Amino acid sequence: MRVLGPTRKETQVEIAMTEQFKVGIQPPIRESGDLANTPGIVLEGPAGTSVIERGVICAQRHIHMSPEDAMRMRLRDKYVVRVRVEGSRELIYGDVVVRVNPNYRLAMHIDTDEGNAANIATGMLGHIEEIQSRH
């Protein structure tokens, strides 16, 4: 498990789809922060236990980018795109949400299941193939 920042007003736990079988819960696929009607979980570690009443999700795949990157690529916050990743197991990821913020650096976030499906390694490049929707 990794603890990531920045801190938020509510605790969120993101798991990959296969992890739901290990922990015995079925979280929805959601954008970060959309925690309504999500299951809770008990986290245990060497320093103690923390009970989270809600907030377990499988994170919707997404791309973080700065406003400058978005302008250069002719994209906007909340657009949904398809991204092709080349390599030994080339794959096109659909339903990738664009997240634009001045504090973001260009990076696509996928979970371990999605990365393993395409044999992804850190630093690989993806190509935005098309805009699926402009929300």
- Encode pLDDT of 79-131 as tens digits: 999 999 999 999 999 999 999 999 999 999 999 999 999 999 988 999 999 99
CA 114, CA 29: separation in Å to the nearest integer? Answer: 13
C-alpha 32 chain-centroid distance: 7
Amino acid 57 reads: I
From first CA to last CA, the distance across the chain in angstroms is 32
For the question of whether the overall pTM of this predicted structure is more than 0.85, the answer is yes
**3-class DSSP state of 92:** strand
Domains and CATH numbers, the chain: 13-59 (no CATH), 62-134 (2.40.40)
For residue 79, count CB atoms less than 10 angstroms from its CB and return exposed for 0-12, middle for 13-18, buried for 19 or more. Answer: buried
Give tens-digit pLDDT for 51-93: 999 999 999 999 999 999 999 999 999 999 999 999 999 999 9
